[in-house]
Amino acid sequence: MTLAETEPQALNFECETGNYHTFCPISCVAWLYQKIEDSFFLVIGTKTCGYFLQNAMGVMIFAEPRYAMAELEEGDISAQLNDYEELKRLCVQIKRDRNPSVIVWIGTCTTEIIKMDLEGLAPRLEAEIGIPIVVARANGLDYAFTQGEDTVLAAMVNRCPEKPPAAEGDKEERNAIAKLLNFGRKKEEIATSDSEYVDHPPLVLFGSLPDPVVTQLTLELKKQGIKVSGWLPAKRYTELPVIEEGYYVAGVNPFLSRTATTFMRRRKCKLIGAPFPIGPDGTRAWIEKICSVFGIEPKGLDDREAQIWAGMEDYLQLIRGKSVFFMGDNLLEISLARFLIRCGMSCPEIGIPYMDKRYQAAELTLLEKTCHEMGVPTPRIVEKPDNYNQLQRITELKPDLVITGMAHANPLEARGINTKWSVEFTFAQIHGFTNARDILELVTRPLRRNNNLKDLGWDKLVREETKV
C-alpha cells in the first residue's frame, strides 16, 4: 500500500452558482412562533408570501397561530402609502388582540426590492407602542430555507440582556432551563445538584429545538459537570439568556453562522467550534469539544455511543453498502452525510445552498475523518448546485437514495430513483443520542417501502403507471 492510499483524501469543494432551489426562508415562522411562546411574527410581503404561508403551515390546525401577513398593495410598492402608519396600525391591533412580549417583523423579497427601511421604522414604532420590535430579513433572494431562523436569532442576540449588578442572586430564578430541570425539587436538593457542576465560564447554546431535545442535550452536558446558562431562543422572549463579554457559546445547527458571528462581533463571546449534535457520532464529538474547552475529561461517552449504535442495527442492515446523494435544501446536508457515512453508506456528492467553511470547520474535519475510517471516498461538496447538472450526475451515478427538496422528488421517483424530502429532517427531532434512530427511520422509509412493493410484485405496475 502506497503512502497516498493511506492518507485521507481531501474534501473537494465546488460552486456552480445556481439558484436557491429551496423552501422559502420565511417558513422559519412555522417553528419559531411555537418555540417562543410570547412572540408574534408579522411577515411583510405580497400575496404570494401569504399563499405560501397558508400552504406551508396549513397543516398545523391544532395550534393557534401567532403570526400574520402584512400584504403589500400597489400603493405600498409605488410609495403612495405611508409605511410607518400602515405598520403602526397593524402592530397596535396585534398589541390589542394578542399583547405579545415581542413582535418580529420578517422582511421578504419585496421589502428588499422596494428598499423598505424596516430597521429605521422599528425603533420609532417600538418606543410609541411600548412593545419590542425585532427586525429580521428572511428573503429568498439572499437566504436559503433554514437561514430564516439564523437571521431572527442574530437579531435577538442584540436584545439579550447584560447582567445587572444586583441580578447575581436572581440568575438561577431567571433561567428558564434551570426552572425546568429543578421543577418540583426543594432548595436543598437544588443546592446539592449544583455541586455536581464543574467550575467553568458561562455557556449559552443557540438554535431552536423542541423542548424535549433541549432537556436531553442539557442533561447530557450536566452528566459531564457542564452547566448550561441559557438557550437562544428561550421559551419566552422575556427569558432571553444573559450575555456578557467572555461568555462561551455553542451552536446546535449548521445553518446558524450569522448568529455565531453576531455573538462574537457584537457581544464579544467565544464560539466553541464543534461538530453538531446530529447522530451519536456528532453528539459525542459535540460534547467532547465542549468538555475540552473547559478542561474536563469526558466520561461514559464510549458506552453511551456504543449503546445507541447497537440499538440501530436493524436499520443499519438496510442501508449498509448503499449510496446517498444530497441535492441541497436545508443546510443540514454535511451533518446528515457524515452520520450516514458512519452508518455504512457512501456519498458521492453533497449539494448545499450555502457553505460557511469557518462555522462548519469542525463538522468538515469530522466528515473527512469518518470517510477515512469507513474506507469510502470523500464526497464532492457543491455549493449552490445547478439542478440541471445535478440531475445529469444522478443519472450517471444511480444512487440508491436521493435526499432532495420537494420540487424534484416526484420527477426522480418517476425515473426509478428512491427519494426522501429534505424538509422532513428540518421538522423532525434529529439531535442528540436518543433521536439518532429517528433519522434512520426517515432515511430507510423509501427503501423499506420499495422492498415491500417488490415483495408484493407491485413495483413494476407502479413504474408503468408513473410513466403513463
Residues 348 and 460 reside in one and the same domain? yes
User: How much is the pLDDT for 87?
Assistant: 92
pLDDT at 167: 45
Q: Calculate the CA 377 to chain-centre distance.
A: 27
66-75, 188-197, 312-321, 438-447: least confident range:
188-197
Classify residue 156: in a domain, yes or no. no
User: How high is the pLDDT of residue 390?
Assistant: 92
Q: How many CA atoms lie within 13 Å of 442's alpha carbon, on the beta-carbon side?
A: 20
Q: Are residues 457 and 336 in the same domain?
A: yes
15 is in an annotated binding site: no
Cell numbers of 448, please? 423499506
Say yes or no to pLDDT of 358 above 80. Answer: yes
Q: Indicate if 216 and 309 belong to the same structural domain.
A: no
Q: Domain with 376 in it: what CATH number?
A: 3.40.50.1980
* Angle (CA) 235 237 240, round 5°: 85
DSSP string, 205-228: EES---HHHHHHHHHHHHHTTPPE
Q: What's the number of domains the chain is made of? A: 3
Domain boundary among 79, 112, 143: 143
pTM over 0.75: yes
Query: SS3 of 231, please?
Result: strand
Per-residue pLDDT at 188: 52
Distance CA 107, CA 146 (A): 15
Tell me what pLDDT residue 71 has: 83
* Shared-domain flag, residues 272 and 230: yes
167 assigned to some structural domain: no
Q: Which of 297, 319, 341 is the last residue in one of the domains?
A: 297
pLDDT of residue 315: 94
Q: Cβ(21)–Cβ(330) under 8 Å? A: no
Residues 43 and 113 placed together within one structural domain of the fold: yes
In a domain, residue 16? The reply is no
User: What is the reported pLDDT for 233?
Assistant: 95
* 361 has a pLDDT exceeding 90: yes
Q: What is the pLDDT of residue 362?
A: 96
Q: Are 220 and 287 in contact (CB under 8 A)?
A: yes
Taking only the tens place, the pLDDT of each residue in 412-458 is 988 889 999 998 999 899 999 999 999 999 999 998 887 777 666 65
Q: Are residues 245 and 123 in the same domain?
A: no
Ligand-binding annotation for 109, yes or no, is yes
- Rounded to an integer, the average pLDDT of 210-223 is 95
Whether residue 191 is predicted with pLDDT greater than 90 in this model: the reply is no
Average pLDDT over residues 330-339: 95
**Is the same domain home to 420 and 332?**
yes
Domain boundary among 235, 265, 297: 297
pLDDT digits over 72-115, tens only?
A: 877 666 566 678 888 999 999 999 999 999 999 999 988 888 88
Q: What is the pLDDT of residues 376-392, one digit of tens each?
A: 999 999 999 988 899 99
331: left (phi over 0), alpha (psi -120 to 50) or beta: left
pLDDT tens-digit profile of 283-317? 999 999 999 999 999 999 999 999 999 999 999 99
Claim to verify: residue 37 and residue 124 sit in the same structural domain: yes
Residues 74, 118, single domain; the answer is yes
Q: Which residues pair with 325 in a beta bridge?
A: 402
Instruction: Indicate whether 166 belongs to any domain.
Output: no
Q: Which domain holds residue 276?
A: 192-297
Domain co-membership, 350 together with 234 = no
- 102 within domain boundaries: yes
Comparing 151-155, 162-166, 337-341, 433-437, the range with the smallest average pLDDT is 162-166
One domain, residues 344 and 427: yes
**Mean pLDDT (the chain, rounded):** 86
Annotated binding-site residue? 91: no
**pLDDT over 90 percentage in the chain:** 63
pLDDT computed for residue 116 by the predictor: 87
Whether 153 is covered by a domain: the verdict is no
Nearest to 47 by CA among 67, 26, 31, 71: 71
Residue 123's CB: how many other CB atoms inside 10 A? 11
The answer to whether residues 384 and 463 belong to one domain is yes
Residue 3 pLDDT grade (very low, low, confident, very high; cuts 50, 70, 90): very low
Q: Pairing relation of β-strands 380-383 and 67-71?
A: unpaired
